[in-house]
Amino acid sequence: MMTGSIRKHDESRPKPIRDRLWWVVSAPSLWALHFLACYITAAIWCEKASHPEQMSFLYALITGYSVVALVGIAAVGWLSYRNFRRGDPPLPYDFDDPQDRTHFIGFTTFLLAALSGIATLFTVLVFVLVGTCD
Amino acid sequence: MSTEEQTERLLKAWETPRGWRYWSAVNNSEVGLWYTLTAFAFFLFGGVLALIMRIQLAVPDNNWLTPDQYNQIFTMHGSVMMFLFAVPILEAISIMLLPEMMGARDLPFPRLSAYGFWCFLIGGIFVCGSLFFGVGPRGGWFMYPPMTTEYQTGVGPDIWLLGLSFIEVASIAAAVELIVGALKCRPPGMRLNLIPLYAWYILVVAVMILFAFPPLIAGDLLMELERALDWPFFDADRGGDPMLWQHLFWIFGHPEVYIVFLPSIALVAMIVPTFAKTPMAGYGWIVLAAVGTGFLSFGLWVHHMFTTGLPGITIGIFSAASEAVAIPTGVQIFCFIATLLIGRVTKSVCLLFVLAGLATFIIGGLTGVMVAIAPFDYQAHDTYFIVGHLHYVLVGGTIFPIVAGFYYYYPFVTGKQLSERLGTLAFWLMLIGFNVAFFPMHLSGLWGMPRRVYTYPGGMGFDLPNLISSGGAFVLGAGFVVLLWDVLRPKGKQPLVKRNLWNAGTLEWSGQVPDKPWGIRSIPIITTRYPLWEQENLLTDIDEGKFYLPDAEEGLRETMVTSTVDAEPMQCLRVPGPTFLTMFAALFTGGVFIFSTYHWWIAAGISGLLSFGTIVTWLWTGTALIPEKATKDVGRGLTLPTYVSGPSAVGWWAMFITMLGDMTAFVSLVFGYFFYWTVHDTFPPTEFDGRSVAGPGVFWPLATIGLSVIAWGSVIAARHLNRRDRPVGFYLSLTVSVTSAGLAAASLFWGPYANGMDPTHHVYSASVCVLVLWTIVHLVVGVVMLLYCGARRLAGRMDATHDADIVNVTLYWHFLVLTVAMTGCVIGLFPLVA
């Protein structure tokens, strides 16, 4: 059992990015940005383009968004994977220990990156399979 | 100082007011309890409305209710269940439980919770009361225009719009409270990996409220402007489009489903480990599910609009996201099942309701996957299939878990236990009644019965399923009567339960029986996820005051603020005690909304002034108070500051979170402007209805940006000068910023005014004017805040080291300058490139 050495919070000790709360939501945020970008671009394209049926420019844009989003999500996932595998603190990772905290953030972020990757691919698939404003 | 004397002082500080002053209480235990009981009362009211509908629909061609009465009743049923029960009950339970789960004495802003509660009570009674005068809203809980703008001339839609907007304010207040509570008020040692799962869910849900409710508030504002002032946002004749309301409503409405589902499933996450006698399997996976669902639920809103003629690609994108959300939703259910399988399960009524909830929700979830597929939705849309689906989701995902929570937490609140025998009876009545009532709706829907009809002709195959549904509804109602009797029956002779009755592992069960008002005797160090199971002598050490803040030597209410990730101690936070100010503030704020409904503008104005005065008094006397000493020994050799400002302070977080919500509402209005741009060939139009359509020009919007940037820079300078203790420079900077902000507001008004813009002429004019209105109101609020800071310094309530007021106001100004810049660019520059 950990005894839990409590010390006062020290602002001057900066935390690495991967130990911050917002790191957990970075991959789903990329999904959200990609989702919004695709939705807004398609909505404007379908309403405003002079020839909405010629979709090559739209596809180029969506491909660009998707590459950026998927690379970003993969990078978050990979860094988080390394984070929770590195050090490998003893099971079951549920104590008041900085290593356990790092493991938790890494593991959860990795899972969220996987989910965000799948959800992003779902969006991309729509352009592959539907591909029409009608 | 003996332990007994310390205990006495602590009890004295946290004493609940007695007699008529009881209603001035602001502590989370009292406010949480009132909130829960009020929400439950509204639930029973909504349930009675449902039974009235089922009587009407039991037989074909029934004329027991008139179509108008039926419309009011089904509208109120949906509105009450969603706005007055589902959302408030989760806030209520969280306000009551969250501090106890985290060993905190209270949430960081108890008066805000109390204000939220009183707003909720007043708004709820106002909205429900309309039904008894025959003037209730009739447009469905989604209030689609043009039906609610052109075809309903009574006050019903206004009551809905203003009454529920008022309640949404309460929801956002609770969201601010719960986010700061979950992030900053955890006990030392409770790092992110040790937070009770309930707190994770609540954190996600509170953030969702922050982004989901503001679009609806923006929509309410647009519709009320149309109804009250004839600004044509949804009037197709003048360029408006009812589809914008649908977008704004469902950007709120779909996350709303998860906003009510996740907290209930959070209760399940607390109950399952207790009755399985083992820690939850897959803690990280459940956090994934909570966060993942929270995000994906924002990508589903268009699946309510599949039949509105949107482009195929748009429908596909939202259909795909609607399928994807099933992944995280399913993950948590697997975790619950796995925990039950690996544990040694003990039978109880709580667990029966949990299992019923899971099974029912899975059925509703599967029909949800069906209607997420657009071609199926085209067939099922607006039929009773959807009524069946949504009730399986909401009753399975929300009601059954909440009933389980009632059985589980009743002893925690009252020290008495509900009857297992009556509970078993209620369970079977509810389970059987629910399925008999709602399963046939899938069939009647597939056979073609439309929703929201007050009656139907006989001989179309709808007779039998409707009769069965009505019978089931009354069996379900009987189950709730049994539950109500069990909750209300006198229990004077029943002995108190033992401490930690269910042998749970989480901290809320550390309370003594009967419980004391202090929340917890001393704030413990937490080193595990299930401290009552895994930390030896924890209860004894808590009771003996061996941990933090075991005393209240100054007679003040105190709790501890810790860091976000690792819960390292940061501050000894003094929280305010009982007051009637919050009740009066809510009453006067309510007056503004209620009088506005009837267009009693003078009364609304007076109420607004009284509300403003009360809120300023509340802030002046109760926030950012300079403490009598800079630091305090909180026990175990730890000394913490009693005053902090900036990102370390809970007030700064509250401002930041509130402004995120505020920006979301503003972005929704900007979205409206661009929505109209996409649906019109020419936007802004040059001419409409024989008149040229004026714009605000380029100069005045850009001048507004320039003046606001000067004001913003001066605010930042004022903050620096205050910190360096240069009063002359501080007041000078303040004067510059107030003057510049005033000029900015005038300049923003002057552009549209001088160019002769008429907001009733065309939707373009209305869209520009609403952005101008929003921004001017925010500039005025910014000026008031600056004057408040000046007065605080003059009165000696703010100085160089105690500067939370000006720091928080500067944060407001960061958001304000962004708002002004966006407004200026959209209305001034976008027409040049449109």
Residues B765-775: tens digit of each pLDDT: 999 999 999 99
Is A13 contained in some domain?
A: no
Residue B178: Cβ within 10 Å count: 26
Question: Chain B residues with CB inside 8 Å of A129's CB?
Answer: 316
Residue B798: per-residue pLDDT: 96
The closest CB to that of B324, out of A6, A112, A119, belongs to A119
The closest CB to that of A20, out of B295, B313, B565, belongs to B565
d(CA B420, CA B434): 20
Q: CB-based contact (8 Å) between A3 and chain B?
A: yes
Whether residue B196 contacts residue B290, with contact meaning beta carbons closer than 8 Å, is answered with no
CB-based contact A21 B192, cutoff 8 Å:
yes
Provide mean pLDDT across the span B347-366: 96
Question: pLDDT per residue over B492-542, tens digit each?
Answer: 899 999 999 999 999 999 999 988 899 999 999 999 999 999 999 999 999
Is A12 contained in some domain?
A: no
Degrees (nearest 5) of the Cα angle B750, B752, B755? 95
Strand B558-562 relative to strand B569-574, pairing: antiparallel
Provide mean pLDDT across the span B533-554: 93
Residue B374: per-residue pLDDT: 94
Residue A3: per-residue pLDDT: 45
Q: CB-based contact (8 Å) between A104 and chain B?
A: yes
Q: HEC states along B216-259? A: HHHHHHHHHHHHHHCCCCCCHHHCCCHHHHHHHHHHHHHHHHHH
Question: pLDDT per residue over B96-134, tens digit each?
Answer: 999 999 999 999 999 999 999 999 999 999 999 999 998
Residue A2: per-residue pLDDT: 39
Is A117 contained in some domain?
A: yes
d(CA A125, CA A108): 26
**pLDDT band, very low/low/confident/very high, at B625 (cuts 50, 70, 90):** very high
d(CA B267, CA B107): 19
Cα B815 from chain centroid (whole Å): 22
Question: pLDDT per residue over B399-444, tens digit each?
Answer: 999 999 999 999 999 999 999 999 999 999 999 999 999 999 999 9
Whether residue B138 contacts residue B160, with contact meaning beta carbons closer than 8 Å, is answered with no
Question: pLDDT per residue over B447-459, tens digit each?
Answer: 999 999 999 999 9
**Bridge partners for A95 per DSSP:** B528
**Bridge partners for B633 per DSSP:** B639
CB-based contact A126 B320, cutoff 8 Å:
yes
Question: pLDDT per residue over B641-683, tens digit each?
Answer: 999 999 999 999 999 999 999 999 999 999 999 999 999 988 9
The closest CB to that of A35, out of B190, B299, B638, belongs to B299
Coil, helix or strand for A66? helix
Q: What percent of chain A has pLDDT over 90?
A: 54
CB-based contact B321 A35, cutoff 8 Å:
yes
Strand B631-635 relative to strand B638-641, pairing: antiparallel
Which residues have CB under 8 Å from B299's CB, separation 6+? A32, A35, A119, B317, B318, B321, B324, B325
**Is residue B146's pLDDT more than 60?**
yes
Q: Where are the alpha helices (DSSP H) in B152-307?
A: 156-184, 197-229, 242-276, 283-296
Segment (H or E) for B601: helix B601-622
Full residue range of the structural domain in which residue A96 is found: 27-130
- Looking at the 3D structure of chain A, how many domains does it have? 1
Question: pLDDT per residue over A78-94, tens digit each?
Answer: 999 988 887 666 666 67
**Is residue A128's pLDDT more than 70?**
yes
The closest CB to that of B193, out of A100, A122, A125, belongs to A100
Nearest to B392 by CA among B367, B417, B369: B367
Cα B79 from chain centroid (whole Å): 15
ipTM: 0.93
Instruction: Pick the residue from chain B with its C-alpha nearest to A58.
Output: B313
**Is residue B170's pLDDT more than 90?**
no
**Is residue A4's pLDDT more than 50?**
no
CB-based contact B314 A39, cutoff 8 Å:
yes
CB-based contact A9 B568, cutoff 8 Å:
yes
**Bridge partners for B688 per DSSP:** B691
Count H helices, E strands: chain A?
4, 0
Nearest to A72 by CA among A35, A27, A23: A27
Residue B707: per-residue pLDDT: 98
**Is residue B47's pLDDT more than 60?**
yes
pLDDT, chain B, mean:
95
Residue A5: per-residue pLDDT: 61
CB-based contact A32 B299, cutoff 8 Å:
yes
Question: pLDDT per residue over A32-87, tens digit each?
Answer: 999 999 999 999 999 888 788 888 899 999 999 999 999 999 999 999 998 888 76
Residue A91: per-residue pLDDT: 64
Residue A89: per-residue pLDDT: 64
What does each C-alpha distance from A51 to B29, B315, B712 come to in angstroms?
62, 20, 45
The closest CB to that of B312, out of A115, A122, A134, belongs to A134
Provide mean pLDDT across the span B290-316: 94
Residue B744: per-residue pLDDT: 98
pTM, two decimals, is 0.95
Is A3 contained in some domain?
A: no
Radius of gyration in angstroms for the set of CA atoms belonging to chain B, rounded to a whole number: 27
The closest CB to that of A9, out of B320, B528, B563, belongs to B563
Provide mean pLDDT across the span B803-820: 98
d(CA A63, CA B118): 51
Is A119 contained in some domain?
A: yes
Residue A100: per-residue pLDDT: 84
CB-based contact A25 B291, cutoff 8 Å:
yes
Is A5 contained in some domain?
A: no
Q: Which A residues in the span 4-63 are in contact with B, Cβ-Cβ below 8 Å?
A: 4, 6-11, 15, 19-21, 24-25, 28-29, 31-32, 35, 38-39, 42-44, 46-48
Coil, helix or strand for B761? coil
**Is residue B284's pLDDT more than 60?**
yes
Residue A88: per-residue pLDDT: 64
**Is residue A134's pLDDT more than 90?**
no
Whether residue B408 contacts residue B96, with contact meaning beta carbons closer than 8 Å, is answered with no
CB-based contact B636 A42, cutoff 8 Å:
no
